[in-house]
Structure 1
Amino acid sequence: MTLGISINVGSIGLCLMGFGEPLENTEIPQAGSSLSEEMDRIGAAVKDILARRSANRRDVLGVGLAVAGHRMLESAFNCPLPLAHWSLIDLAPLLGAKLGLPIWADNVARTAALAEAIFGVGREVADFAYIAHLHGYGGGLVSGGMPFRGSFGNAGEFSVLFGQQDYEERPAPSLLLRHLHANGRPDLTLKDLKSEDLAQWQGVAEWVDRVAPAHNRTVNALCAVFDPALIVLGGELPHSLARMLIERTEINNLPRHGALRDVPKLAVAEVIDAPGAIGAALIPLFETVL
Structure 2
Amino acid sequence: MKYDPLEHVATHFLRDAQPARVASRNERDLLRLIWKSPGIERSDLTEPLDLTQQSLHRIVARLHERGMIVFSHAEARRAGPPSPELTLRKDWCLTLGIAVNVGSIGLCLMGFGEPLENMEIRQAGASLSVELERIEAAVEDILARRGAKRRDILGVGLAVAGHRMLETAFNCPLPLAHWSLIDLAPLLGKQLALPVWADNVARTAALAEAIFGVGRDVADFAYIAHLHGYGGGLVSGGMPFRGSFGNAGEFSVLFGREDYDDRPALNQLLEHLRAKGRAGLTLNDLKNEELVGWDGVEEWVDRVMPAHNRAINAICAIFDPALIVLGGELPHSLARKLIERTEFNNLPRHGAVRDVPQLAVAEIIDAPGAIGAALIPLFETVL
Shorter-chain-normalised TM-score: which range?
Answer: over 0.9
> C-alpha separation between the residues in 2 aligned to 1:128 and 1:141?
6
Q: How far does the alpha carbon of each residue in 1:150-187 deviate from its partner, in whole angstroms, 9 at most, with x for none? A: 00000000000000000000000011011111111111
Counterpart in the other structure of 2:178 = 85
Higher relative contact order (CA 8 A, sep 6+): 1
Q: How far does the alpha carbon of each residue in 1:226-285 deviate from its partner, in whole angstroms, 9 at most, with x for none? A: 000000000011111111111110000111111111000100000001000000000000
Cα shift at 1:3: 0.1
1:175 aligns with 2:268: yes
Structure-1-length-normalised TM-score? 0.99
Q: Is the Cα contact below 8 Å between 2:266 and 2:283 reproduced in 1?
A: yes
Counterpart in the other structure of 2:211 = 118
Cα shift at 1:86: 0.4
Q: How far does the alpha carbon of each residue in 1:178-234 deviate from its partner, in whole angstroms, 9 at most, with x for none? A: 111111111111212213222221111110011000000000000000000000000
Gap runs ≥5 in structure 2: 1-93
Structure-2-length-normalised TM-score? 0.75
1:5 aligns with 2:105: no
SS in 1 for 2:216: helix
- Could you say what the CA RMSD is over the residues aligned between the two structures, in angstroms? 0.7
1:34 aligns with 2:139: no
Q: Aligned to 1:250, which of 343, 350, 363?
A: 343
Counterpart in the other structure of 2:145 = 52
> C-alpha separation between the residues in 2 aligned to 1:55 and 1:74?
31
Q: Which amino acid aligns with 2:317?
A: A
Cα shift at 1:74: 1.8
Counterpart in the other structure of 1:62 = 155
| Moved beyond 3 Å, runs of 4+ | none
Counterpart in the other structure of 1:240 = 333
Counterpart in the other structure of 2:382 = 289
Q: Aligned to 2:240, which of 147, 162, 180?
A: 147
- Equivalent residues in 2 for 1:154-169, closer than 5 Å: 154-169=247-262
**Identity over aligned residues, as a percent?**
83
Q: Aligned to 2:365, which of 258, 272, 286?
A: 272
1:135 aligns with 2:135: no
> C-alpha separation between the residues in 2 aligned to 1:86 and 1:277?
17
Cα shift at 1:20: 1.4
> C-alpha separation between the residues in 1 aligned to 2:220 and 2:324?
9
> C-alpha separation between the residues in 1 aligned to 2:236 and 2:174?
31
